[in-house]
DNA sequence: GTCGTGATGTTATACAGTAACATTCGCCAT
DNA sequence: ATGGCGAATGTTACTGTATAACATCACGAC
């Protein structure tokens, strides 16, 4: 899915969920899409300032929070960053793999594999909510 | 295991690993032990300042980094915090459950359940390193 | 119109983490 | 003992991350 299609799908997605992908939010989403992999809030802020003059942290954080809320982005706690989710339509739980060496990030679907973790949590009297796991390791290129 | 025993075991653990649980590091570990659940670096810093007058962030961060390195603490990315590990002797991978409502934290062992995640990662040409997963949900008390 | 609500702007500040360099401590070889 | 070395700690200053609080704006409902 190219960027334009993605934005359109995202807009429809928000519509269906009863909220709006406003101009600002779309602009932030576009800025995130332009990078590959993880993007930091202050990088987005800098990009936004290039495009529209001044902008302050809350502007960016509010837009990013909204996009995470809608499932368009995932937050990667381990890196204080954000990645685009490209299958936001399906109700999925994600597993984000971060390469310790090159920093490359990829998201894989993982519903089935999480069943085991849910069992473990249940055994500890704990009800898991929807997860966005972040796991670290080595990607194919860096493993050599 | 009570606090005193824990500290002693921790000291022996470091010894075996060829490094030292110095007075400062022990003091920081004790400060972390006094809280239950997740502790933040700046909370530890404040506590430390109460005990010994002045102290600066690097002092605390260096000690915390050391303790994490030795496996005595786990870092909880999602909360920018640290939790005590009470089975640092065994080479384990951990799953830390964080209650979204009350903030309570518990660690459960999870070696077996992780096998499924390793399979998924393998399928994506990704080699996982040792994991400290953080999962969110609701604890027994908050589920009602 | 004007009112209410959600979005955005603005300012200021709190919280988290690190670089760089100075100083001290503990230990060992001389 | 004493000088020298490496590890640990102290100190200063800074960068990066995130939010509180309040002001203003846009827009549809009435
Ligand atoms: Zn996703
Ligand atoms: Zn890599
Ligand atoms: Zn542990
Ligand atoms: Zn709870």
Q: What pLDDT digit, counting tens, does each position of A64-75 carry? A: 999 999 999 999
CA B4 to C1' D2, in angstroms, rounded, equals 39
CB spacing of B124 vs A106 below 8 angstroms: yes
A3-84 and A94-143 have identical folds: no
What is the C-alpha separation between A42 and A44, in angstroms, rounded?
Answer: 5
Round to whole Å and give the CA distance between B92 and B10: 16
CATH 1.10.10.10 fits B3-84, yes or no: yes
Q: Does residue B112 have a pLDDT over 80?
A: no
Q: Are A7 and A22 in contact (CB under 8 A)?
A: no
Is the per-residue pLDDT at A25 higher than 90?
Answer: yes
How much helix, strand and coil, in percent to the nearest 5, is found in chain A? 50, 20, 30
pLDDT in tens, A89-112: 888 888 899 888 787 889 988 887
Centre of ligand 2 from the C-alpha of residue B33, in Å? 36
Residue-averaged pLDDT of chain B? 92
- Minimal Cα–Cα distance from A68 to chain B, Å? 15
B7 in contact with chain A, both atoms CB, cutoff 8 A? no
Q: Identify all chain B residues contacting A96, using CB atoms and an 8 Å cutoff.
A: none
Q: What pLDDT sits at residue B18?
A: 93
The chain B residue lying nearest A137, using CA atoms, is B128
Interatomic CA distance for residues B86 and A127, integer angstroms:
23
Confidence of residue A137 (pLDDT cuts 50, 70, 90): confident
* A10-19, A45-54, A113-122, B53-62: least confidently modelled range: A113-122
Q: Using one digit for the tens of pLDDT, what is the confidence trace for A38-65?
A: 999 999 999 999 999 999 999 999 999 9
Return the CATH architecture of domain B94-143: 2-Layer Sandwich (3.30)
In chain B, domain spans: 3-84, 94-143
Q: How far is the CA of B11 from the centre of ligand 1 (A)?
A: 43
- In which band, very low, low, confident or very high, does the pLDDT at B102 lie, cut at 50, 70 and 90? confident
pLDDT of residue A101: 78
Which of A97, A120, A128 shows the shortest C-beta gap to B126? A97
- Calpha distance B39→B41 (Å, rounded): 7
Q: Please, which pLDDT band fits residue B10 given cuts at 50, 70 and 90? A: very high
| pLDDT given at position A143 | 81
Please give the Cα distance from B47 to B34 (Å, whole number). 10
Q: How far is the CA of A36 from the centre of ligand 1 (A)?
A: 15
Given this model, what pLDDT does residue B25 score? 98
- Say if residue A25 is exposed, middle or buried (CB neighbours under 10 Å; 0-12, 13-18, 19+): buried
- Best residue in B124, B139, B144 to probe A by mutation, most A CBs within 10 Å? B124
Over 80: is that where the pLDDT of B101 sits? no
> For residue range B90-100, what is the model confidence (pLDDT) as tens digits?
888 888 998 88
| CA dihedral for A14, A66, A78, A141, sign (positive or negative) | positive
**Comparing A102 with A121, which gets the higher pLDDT?**
A121
* Whole-number pLDDT of residue B5: 95
> What confidence tens digit (pLDDT) does each residue in B63-72 have?
999 999 999 9
What is the rounded average pLDDT for all residues in chain A? 92
């Amino acid at each position: 899915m190219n960027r334009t299609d993605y934005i359109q799908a995202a807009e429809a997605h928000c519509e269906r969920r009863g909220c709006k992908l406003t101009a600002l939010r779309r602009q932030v989403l576009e800025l995130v899409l332009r990078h590959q992999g993880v993007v930091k809030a202050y990088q987005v802020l800098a990009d936004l300032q290039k495009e529209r003059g001044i902008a302050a942290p809350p502007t960016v954080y509010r837009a990013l929070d909204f996009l995470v809320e809608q499932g368009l982005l995932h937050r990667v706690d381990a890196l204080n960053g954000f990645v685009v989710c490209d299958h936001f339509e399906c109700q999925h739980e994600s597993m984000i793999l971060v390469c310790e060496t090159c920093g490359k990030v990829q998201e894989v679907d993982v519903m089935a594999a999480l069943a085991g973790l849910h069992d473990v949590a249940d055994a500890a009297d704990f009800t898991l909510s929807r997860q966005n796991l972040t796991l670290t390791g080595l990607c194919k290129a860096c493993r050599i």
